[in-house]
Chains A and B, each alone.
Chain A
């Protein structure tokens, strides 16, 4: 997949409704539920043994950059959106992009010595993208930088969402090893995960892309 170089400002780049996104096609990324056997606790395995989660089967993915900022736009079907949590048993919709930080980082949450960088968005905290680093299931940790901006919109039973980050953010991040680096003209990989709040999905209860999506940043 190509992250097109576009000549637009950061605001348009970060807007899932910007007309710019209509100019190039979305890559359809197939998603599957995380296997029940990989759920990290016996309780979760017992409760969800029927595998009734992670039903979102595909997401549309687009990427673009303007030389300064890199943006990813995700679009997926979600008939019942949850954007606020008022009660104990409510969970908000969420999405994440995962980038390997080493050649051999496993697609599911990385492993020790082969971490992954995760950009996370949750519908109840809509503007704040969270930068995480993980080196195994259940290990994701929030890092205070770099700044990831997110903007989501739900309409007609679909979410559209943009993650945006400064291309060079890795250079000035205090923990550079924990942050995905991007340079125009180079190739990368990423994976996608989605959580349906209406189905109480959180943590490992999600739909994810089981194969890496190849990504090239246009020079």
Chain B
């Protein structure tokens, strides 16, 4: 391989150390505030994935947890890195697993007079009745009544510090920006080999069957470059998507991740050092067999949250509980003030407050 210039080294493990960008942009999602409206997914779709070949792409998705995710069962597919740093083999998820973009028989039903006998029916890319979709198991969740539970888990490319996608590409077509750590696929260099789709453990890369290249979330870099927040964050009615630089000690990201330690990465064990963090969801007490609330056991089992967000979940939830109680007593709580987002947009993405309509 040609000697890598400095820019091409970022995000790679070289001599046992991952080369880091100068700064890293990150997001924090407060799962206590997500209402599952999918405005984020649609904002992204409208902005970036409307072209032919992109029909089935949702660079930003909102999964229901517990659930199988997008693509279906992605958490069991491998990818990322072992604890010893070795790449973990995986596979490329199929279009049916991602959910595909269905076709409907609109013509038959709406225009050819079939409306009385024929009903709208989806077909997948194989012309078959779909058996899965991007949000097939939405709102199903887990547990048995009265302890059934779910929460929404928005997901996108984590713009990882050690991106498995970038390491896997034999062509160096994936790079991590020096100024902010955004991970991008250069579609001029991409030859559609799809090793990135295999290697990404979060399976946040899609294949464009028209352009014959891999595509994924670009952290809205053209907006970032102009001081505008990513579309998913700007449009979020729940105001739960914080955006900023991890090293900005005055910003919400640094405070939530490093100072208050309440924002955790999803599946840290995948080994890619993701830069999207989640404030884990609180839940009401579970209900015992005799119908009594059991405050020692939250409705969403902490063990389940630990599987997603690691062993620090308990600690994070305890901090949030404590700060919440303080606020309820009328005391000051910086953490609660951050999570509440009193002033929008300056409190939620302080460096990216520009209104895109003014550009």
Q: Which residues of A contact B (CB under 8 A)?
A: 39-47, 85-89, 112, 135-140, 202-204
For this complex, 19 residue pairs linking A to B, each with C-beta atoms less than 8 Å apart, are A40-B170, A41-B170, A42-B168, A43-B167, A43-B198, A43-B199, A45-B87, A46-B87, A47-B89, A86-B125, A87-B125, A88-B197, A88-B207, A89-B91, A138-B172, A139-B2, A202-B191, A203-B191, A203-B195
B307 at the interface (CB under 8 A from A): no
Nearest CB on B from A98, distance (A): 16
Check A43–B87 contact: CB distance below 8 A. yes
The CA-CA distance from A47 to B87 in the complex, in Å, is 8
Residue of B nearest to A45 (CB): B87
| Contact pattern, B 182-219, Cβ under 8 Å of A = 1, otherwise 0 | 00000000010111011100000001010000000000
- Chain A residues closer than 8 Å to B168, beta-carbon distance: 41-44
* Given A46-B89, A88-B207, also A138-B171 (CB < 8 A): yes
- Chain A residues closer than 8 Å to B172, beta-carbon distance: 138
The CA-CA distance from A204 to B209 in the complex, in Å, is 22
The CA-CA distance from A13 to B126 in the complex, in Å, is 38
Q: Which of these binds chain A: B92-100, B140-148, B230-238?
A: B92-100
Which secondary structure dominates chain A's binding surface? loop
Which secondary structure dominates chain B's binding surface? loop
The CA-CA distance from A69 to B129 in the complex, in Å, is 50
- Chain B residues closer than 8 Å to A39, beta-carbon distance: 170
Nearest CB on A from B218, distance (A): 20
**Interface residues in B64-94 (C-beta closer than 8 Å to A):** 86-94
Number of A-B contacts (CB under 8 A): 76
* Given A87-B94, A88-B207, A89-B94, also A204-B86 (CB < 8 A): no
Check A40–B1 contact: CB distance below 8 A. yes
Residue of B nearest to A142 (CB): B191
The CA-CA distance from A46 to B167 in the complex, in Å, is 12
* Given A42-B86, A88-B95, A203-B193, also A47-B198 (CB < 8 A): yes
Using A42-B87, A47-B90, A202-B191 as known contacts, list a sample of 11 further A-B pairs with CB atoms less than 8 Å apart, ordered by residue number in A: A43-B89, A47-B87, A86-B126, A86-B209, A87-B125, A88-B92, A89-B92, A135-B2, A137-B170, A138-B171, A140-B191
Nearest CB on A from B102, distance (A): 15
- Chain A residues closer than 8 Å to B169, beta-carbon distance: 41
Nearest CB on A from B42, distance (A): 23
Nearest CB on A from B138, distance (A): 23
The residue that B167 contacts in the complex, of A41, A89, A138, A202, with Cβ under 8 A, is A41
Residue of B nearest to A202 (CB): B193
Check B1–A138 contact: CB distance below 8 A. yes
* Given A43-B195, A112-B2, also A88-B93 (CB < 8 A): yes
Nearest CB on A from B164, distance (A): 7
* Given A43-B164, A112-B2, A203-B195, also A87-B170 (CB < 8 A): no
- Chain B residues closer than 8 Å to A89, beta-carbon distance: 91-94, 194
| Contact pattern, B 153-164, Cβ under 8 Å of A = 1, otherwise 0 | 000000000001
| Contact pattern, B 119-130, Cβ under 8 Å of A = 1, otherwise 0 | 000000110000
Check B170–A204 contact: CB distance below 8 A. yes
Nearest CB on A from B113, distance (A): 32
Residue of A nearest to B94 (CB): A87
The CA-CA distance from A45 to B167 in the complex, in Å, is 11
- Chain A residues closer than 8 Å to B86, beta-carbon distance: 42, 46
The CA-CA distance from A40 to B198 in the complex, in Å, is 15
- Chain A residues closer than 8 Å to B88, beta-carbon distance: 46
The CA-CA distance from A204 to B171 in the complex, in Å, is 10
- Chain B residues closer than 8 Å to A136, beta-carbon distance: 1-2
The CA-CA distance from A204 to B168 in the complex, in Å, is 12
- Chain A residues closer than 8 Å to B2, beta-carbon distance: 112, 135-136, 139
